[in-house]
Every structure is written in structure tokens, then in C-alpha cells.
Amino acid sequence: MFFGLFPFVSPFPIHTDVQPVSLLLALFIFCIDFIFLKVRLNRVEVFFLILAIFSFVFIGVVGDFELRHRVGLLFAFVIYYGVRRYHKYLTGGILLAASIFNFLGVLWHFFSPSSFIPFASIFTRAIKITEIGARGASGFAPENSFAAALALVYIILSIYLMKKEIISRLSHKLVFVLSACVILLSQSGLGYVIGLMLVCINFLISTNFKAKQRISALVVFTLVTFSFSQSSFIDTRGGQLIKVLFQNPSLLLLDGSLGERFVGIHVGITSLFHYPIGSGGGSYPVIAREMNSKYNILKYHPNARAGQLDGTVSAFGRYTTELGCLFILFIVVLLSKSFARTTFPLLASTLACLFIMASFSITFPPTYILLAFSSLKTEKGL
């Protein structure tokens, strides 16, 4: 559970952002259960496993057999399986430890990059932010957006643990405060914008707020927003995206970093009309160039950084291109199991879906931790 919540660290880092520790442990757990005939799969897990096996062997039209493009969904499946079967092993202590570890790493990185980076590089593949400026601290993660994403995951999981009375209200508040500080210090556009989105969703759907509490929450939100707008954080990348979001949201389409995500998603959706069952593992670069030549996709995303036809940071874009409608069906099936109009499942499903759409690997363990826990929504108290 800990390495699933902290997937960028490893005793021996390899050349990938997501380190294989939690993935290999989850695979080991599945193999042990299989050997002792303890594997029990529901219909969603059966479909998940079948698609994962299919993605491993599907060559398609122009695909190739590069292993890193083949094992993604298999590792995703074992994480999902392991968390669903052994969810009771996520304790308040583990979540609090991950939150503290994330906070201390980001804090150290923010105030002293020169001393932090040599130490963090022992456990992390690379620390890409060497100076704190418009981009904030990443701590024990390659990029600041990854640290912010982990912080959002911790906050949402603490809601689950508090409702299940697994974590105390004091620990819940501590996780929230530490993680909020991480998001702020990361100066991540993803952390700021998605964090604001989740706050708004929680405020709109929560049934716990009475009228007076909603008014108080609005007043606090207004004061916090005003204080933020007057601070130096408004000049960071995350702050600038928040400002654009309020002033003219359409300008977000012109953002270069967001354009990278949009290109991949655009390619994936367009390719469905030509390759409805996908074009095979590893075929994204070939199909992206084909779609661009037919529809001039890059014209619609002029500020996207170069190289988006060679690869994409959007798992949705890549896997929709390579697996077609089967991947869309996969997303629908997972969300149908996990989605509900109550606080935790809605926030968890939303964030997991955004991870798949945006710049996170298909093997990013927190995606499936969120989906696995929210699939337990039939239990009381969620």
C-alpha cells in the first residue's frame, strides 16, 4: 500500500517515472493467491484481466512488441486486484506516513534544492526541477505535478478512512493540511486547477453542509481566494492557470502543456473512426502522423510542444489509439463499478479519470487505488 501511494521511489530506481516496487509486489500477491486458489474475480475484474492479456498480445495493423507498451494494463490489473482484495490493510498510519514523507520531501526541495537533489536522486529516477521559480518543488517525484497529484490522492483517501472510522479526525485534518501545503509549494497547474475542481464538486454534492455552514464555507473560500491572489503564488504557473480559468477559460486551450494532452486525446478519438478496435500496441506514433496528415490535428493545438506525434503523455490518447473501442469500454466498465453520487466515490472516480486523461502512466498505481476503493461504495458510510 505504501509503495502504491508513493510510486516514484525505489531502492534501485530504473529508467521510468513510475517505479516497479508496488507493481511487482502486487504481482507477487496475485501469484500467491493464484497458487493457493484464492483468486476470486468479479465480472469487472474478469473483463480487466482479459483486456490486459489482449493488450499484451495484440499486434494490430502497425504495432510492435516493445515490452513497456505491453505490460501496462497487466500491472494495472494486479494493483486493482490487490487493493480490492486487501483494502483493509490501508491504515491511517500508512496514509499519514505517505503524507508526511511527501510533505517533507517537497518542503526540503522547495527551500534547499542543492542539498535535496543529490539525496533524492538515490531513490528517484530523476529530479527534473533543479531551481524553484515558476515551477515549484516536486520532492520525491520527477515533476511537481506528480507530487501535487499524490497529495490530492491522500486527501481523498483520508475522506474514505475517516468515514470508515479507520483514521481519526485529527489525523484526517493533518493529512489535509500537509497535502494542501504540498499542492501550494508544488506550484503545479494540475494541482491548483484539479484541486479547485474537486473542492467545488465536494461543496456542491455534500449533504453534510447546512445552510449556515455553506455560507461560512463560501466566506472562507472567498477570503482564501483573495489572499492567494495577493500572494506571490499567483505569479507561478499554477497561479496563472487559476487566473486564466477565472478570467477567460477559453485561453486554457492555448496553453502549451495542456496542448500536449489535447493532441493525444484528439488523435485517440479521431483514430476510432479508422481503427475501431485499435491499431496495436506501440502503434501510436504511426497512427498519430496518419491522423495529422488527414485532419491537420496540430493546427488545432498550435502551442503544443514539439514531438507530440512521436508519443503522448495522455494514457487515454495512447490506449484509445492502440486498443480502440475496447479501451473506451474498459473505462466505462471501471467507472460503472466505481462511480456514485456520494462524496468519496465521485471525487475518487473523477480524479482517477483525470489521471488517465492527463499526463500519468497507465500503470500509475494511485489511479487504481482510487478506483478500487470507490468500487467498494456499496458498503455503508461511503
Domain boundaries, the chain: 2-247+326-374, 254-323
Average pLDDT, the chain: 86
Residue 305 binned pLDDT confidence (cut-offs 50, 70, 90) = low
**Whole-model pTM?**
0.89
Q: List pLDDT tens digits, range 329-369.
A: 999 999 999 988 788 999 999 999 999 988 789 999 999 99
| Confidence (pLDDT) at 378 | 47
Whole-number pLDDT of residue 132: 86
- Specify the amino acid at residue 172: H
State the cell numbers at 54.
489482449
> Residue 189: its pLDDT value, please?
80
The average pLDDT across 201-227 equals: 59
Q: Is 143 left (phi over 0), alpha (psi -120 to 50) or beta?
A: beta
pLDDT tens per residue, range 141-150: 999 999 999 9
Most confident of 63-67, 70-74, 127-131, 153-157: 153-157
Higher local confidence (pLDDT), 375 or 211: 375
Q: Where is average pLDDT lowest: 77-86, 153-162, 236-245?
A: 236-245
Cell numbers given for 6: 508513493
231-236 own/partner pairs: CB under 8 Å, 24+ apart: 233/184, 233/187, 235/134, 236/134, 236/135, 236/136, 236/187
User: Where are the strands (E) in the chain, listed by range?
Assistant: none
pLDDT at 35 over 70: yes
**To the nearest whole percent, how much of the chain has pLDDT over 90?**
59
Q: Is 359 helix (H, G, I), strand (E, B) or coil?
A: coil
Q: What is the pLDDT of residue 170?
A: 93
Q: Which of 76-85, 122-131, 204-213 has the lowest mean pLDDT?
A: 204-213
* Top-confidence residue, 303 or 246: 303
Query: What average pLDDT does this structure show over 60-77?
Result: 83
Q: Say whether pLDDT at 212 is over 80.
A: no
- Taking 50 as the threshold, does the pLDDT of residue 380 lie above it? no
Backbone φ, ψ for residue 312 (5° rounding): -145, 145
C-alpha cell at 243: 487566473
Q: How far is CA 230 from CA 183, 224, 239, 294, 310, in A?
A: 18, 10, 11, 47, 41
* Phi and psi torsions of 205, nearest 5°: -100, -15
Report the percentage of the chain scoring pLDDT > 70.
84
- CA distances (Å), origin 53, targets 65, 242, 307: 13, 41, 29
Are 371 and 348 in contact by the 8 Å Cβ rule? The answer is yes
Q: State mean pLDDT over 13-18.
A: 90
What type of residue is 148?
Answer: A
Residue 381: per-residue pLDDT:
46
Range in 15-29, 215-229, 302-316 the model is least confident about: 215-229
Which residues, 6+ apart, have CB-to-CB distance to 250 below 8 Å? none
Give 161's contacts (C-beta < 8 A, 6+ positions apart): 90, 92, 95, 167, 172
Query: Cα 35–21–125 angle (5° rounding)?
Result: 155
Cell of 365: 498505481
